[in-house]
């Protein structure tokens, strides 16, 4: 089988995912773009890729080297925007796809950003806080030539946090000689962070689910919900779902898979994770197999972990009415087709998890104006941007008779490629 990577020679020809998934999604939208389709190839070519060496002295005195990346996939509509991931599976292929999804997400929501992403291939759990600080600062310094408040603005992603952003902001600021709060978002409030940012992604997932439920006749109140991933996205979403009367019947994190048909006490599960680092040992639910987890009957299934989780084989067995993608790229294109055939609605990542970057946009605007909004103001604005995007994407899906994902890609690609065309090619 040949893998469609586009025509990029620097990618491993054997490893397909997830850039190949992104390319496939772009190929699927191309026939819907009319005259703009002549520009579509641009989305299969990341604008700029930086691979950096991140050397540090470890606590035991040895010297270690790690590989870091920053990919700016497209800058036609504004500065790059997207998170930084610390995870042992980070690769150039993955960061390219994640950057591509940021281009689509930002355009689909109408945010004035291009798409970017970064990462360092490490398992952050195996480092001391002092080592993590050194890795973060050296990585920031290395990518300092391409980031900046009006160039490319990183944010947290899997394995990074407010603390990571504080170190990144400080390192960049020290290098440029003045405090530049707008260089990253997802910072602590004391450093120019925004109220509501930490919850933004999970809150947005719940808004997307609610909007889908209204149109499908599947109310959140009383719904059975399964959540894969119990971090900043899955944990917050599970809590808000429960506050809105849903029953979270199963949870999975990297170490445990648990179910309780009566509904899991989410605040208790969150407290357990805060104390012990994972769901292992949580007594408010019983352990189930991974196979059983994916086959649970539910109204909403929320993959909120890593990409490529909803595989063809799992898609054949899932018994959810609606999948709401909290993670980036959790569903493979082949699985998408099966879910479509089986009548399972998928609310795609580029819409469902856009609450995080939307509040990042608010943070960036607040930093520029040095004027800060109330949490209520943030949540109201998030709500209105998400609902407006949902409406437009839903309508396009109905009019064009395509999936919600393709509809989101149509709207986003039209915006990105119209900007590309109007700017013209230089020289």
What are the catalytic residues?
117
Determine the Cα–Cα distance for residues 104 and 409; give it in Å rounded to an integer: 6
**Binding-residue total with ligand GLU (CB under 6 A):** 11
Instruction: Identify the residue whose tokens are 């299969």.
Output: 44
Q: Does 83 bind ligand GLU (CB under 6 A)?
A: yes
**Residue placing its CB nearer to ligand GLU in the complex, 154 or 213:** 154
The stretch among 75-83, 205-213, 219-227, 405-413 that binds ligand GLU (CB under 6 A) is 75-83
Instruction: Identify the residue whose tokens are 């119990």.
Output: 230
Where b means 16+ CB within 10 Å and e means fewer, 233-270 reads bbbbbbbbbbeeebbbbbbbbeebbbbbeeebbbeebb
| Orientation of helix 375-400 relative to helix 197-216, angle to 10° | 40
Q: Does 42 bind ligand GLU (CB under 6 A)?
A: no
To ligand GLU, the closest distance from the beta carbon of 171 in angstroms equals: 18
Cβ-Cβ contacts under 8 Å for 44 (sequence gap 6 or more): 6, 7, 8, 23, 26
Give the footprint of ligand GLU on residues 157-176 (CB under 6 A): 157
Q: Out of 46, 79, 82, 213, point to the residue binding ligand GLU (CB under 6 A).
A: 82
CB-nearest residue to ligand GLU: 83
Q: Chain centroid to CA 106: how far?
A: 11
Give the footprint of ligand GLU on residues 302-361 (CB under 6 A): 328, 353, 356-357, 360
Q: Which helix (H) or strand (E) holds 210?
A: helix 197-216
**Residue placing its CB nearer to ligand GLU in the complex, 20 or 155:** 155
Bridge partners of 119? 69, 85
Q: Does 155 bind ligand GLU (CB under 6 A)?
A: yes
> If we measure between CA atoms, which residue out of 77, 75, 158, 144 comes closest to residue 116?
75
Instruction: Provide φ and ψ at 350, rounded to 5°.
Output: -65, -15
The answer to whether residues 233 and 201 touch, using CB atoms and an 8 Å cutoff, is yes
The answer to whether residues 190 and 166 touch, using CB atoms and an 8 Å cutoff, is no
Instruction: Provide φ and ψ at 244, rounded to 5°.
Output: -95, 20
How, if at all, do strands 63-74 and 115-120 pair?
Answer: antiparallel
**Residue placing its CB nearer to ligand GLU in the complex, 157 or 253:** 157
The answer to whether residues 286 and 249 touch, using CB atoms and an 8 Å cutoff, is no
String marking each residue 87-126 x if it binds ligand GLU according to CB under 6 A: ----------------------------------------
Q: Does 183 bind ligand GLU (CB under 6 A)?
A: no
**Residue placing its CB nearer to ligand GLU in the complex, 82 or 303:** 82
**Residue placing its CB nearer to ligand GLU in the complex, 318 or 348:** 348
To ligand GLU, the closest distance from the beta carbon of 412 in angstroms equals: 14
Q: Using the 8-state DSSP alphabet, how is residue 40 labeled?
A: G
Instruction: Provide φ and ψ at 302, rounded to 5°.
Output: -115, 95
Q: Does 81 bind ligand GLU (CB under 6 A)?
A: yes
Q: Does 195 bind ligand GLU (CB under 6 A)?
A: no
The stretch among 32-40, 80-88, 260-268, 382-390 that binds ligand GLU (CB under 6 A) is 80-88
Q: Does 232 bind ligand GLU (CB under 6 A)?
A: no
**Residue placing its CB nearer to ligand GLU in the complex, 185 or 260:** 185
Query: Where on the chain is the footprint of ligand GLU (CB under 6 A)?
Result: 81-83, 155, 157, 185, 328, 353, 356-357, 360
């Amino acid at each position: 089988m040949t893998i469609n990577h586009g025509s990029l020679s620097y990618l491993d020809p054997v490893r397909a995912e997830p850039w190949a998934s992104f390319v496939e999604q772009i190929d699927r939208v191309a026939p819907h773009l009319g005259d703009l389709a002549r520009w579509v190839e641009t989305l299969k070519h990341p604008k700029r890729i930086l691979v950096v060496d991140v050397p540090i002295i470890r606590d035991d005195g040895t010297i270690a080297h790690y590989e870091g990346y920053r990919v700016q996939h497209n800058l036609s509509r504004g500065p790059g925007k997207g998170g930084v991931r610390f995870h042992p599976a980070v690769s150039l292929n993955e960061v390219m796809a994640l950057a591509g999804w940021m281009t689509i997400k930002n355009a689909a929501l109408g945010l004035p950003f291009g798409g970017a992403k970064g990462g360092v291939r490490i398992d952050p759990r195996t480092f001391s806080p002092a080592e993590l600080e050194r890795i973060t600062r050296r990585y920031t310094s290395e990518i300092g030539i391409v980031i900046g408040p009006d160039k490319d603005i990183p944010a947290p992603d899997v394995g990074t946090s407010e603390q990571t952003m504080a170190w990144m902001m400080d390192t960049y600021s020290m290098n440029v000689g003045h405090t530049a709060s707008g260089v990253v978002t997802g910072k602590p409030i004391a450093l120019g962070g925004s109220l509501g940012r930490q919850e933004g992604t999970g809150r947005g997932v719940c808004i997307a689910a609610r909007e889908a439920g209204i149109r499908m006749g599947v109310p959140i109140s009383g719904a059975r919900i399964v959540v894969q991933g119990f971090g900043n996205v899955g944990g917050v979403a599970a809590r808000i779902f429960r506050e809105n009367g849903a029953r979270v019947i199963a949870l999975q994190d990297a170490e445990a898979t648990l179910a309780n048909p009566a509904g899991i006490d989410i605040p208790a599960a969150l407290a357990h994770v805060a104390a012990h680092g994972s769901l292992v040992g949580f007594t408010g639910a019983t352990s189930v197999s991974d196979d059983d987890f994916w086959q649970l009957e539910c109204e909403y299934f929320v993959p909120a972990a890593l990409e490529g989780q909803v595989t063809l084989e799992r898609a054949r067995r899932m018994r959810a009415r609606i999948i709401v993608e909290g993670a980036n790229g959790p569903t493979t294109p082949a699985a998408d087709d099966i879910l479509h055939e089986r009548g399972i609605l998928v609310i795609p990542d580029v819409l469902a998890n856009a609450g995080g970057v939307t509040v990042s946009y608010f943070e960036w605007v607040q930093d520029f104006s040095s004027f800060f909004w109330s949490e209520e103001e943030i949540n109201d604005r998030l709500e209105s941007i998400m609902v407006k995007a949902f409406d437009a994407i839903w309508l396009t899906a109905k009019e064009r008779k395509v999936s919600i994902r393709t509809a989101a890609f149509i709207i986003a690609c039209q915006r990105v490629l119209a900007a590309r065309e109007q700017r013209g090619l230089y020289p």
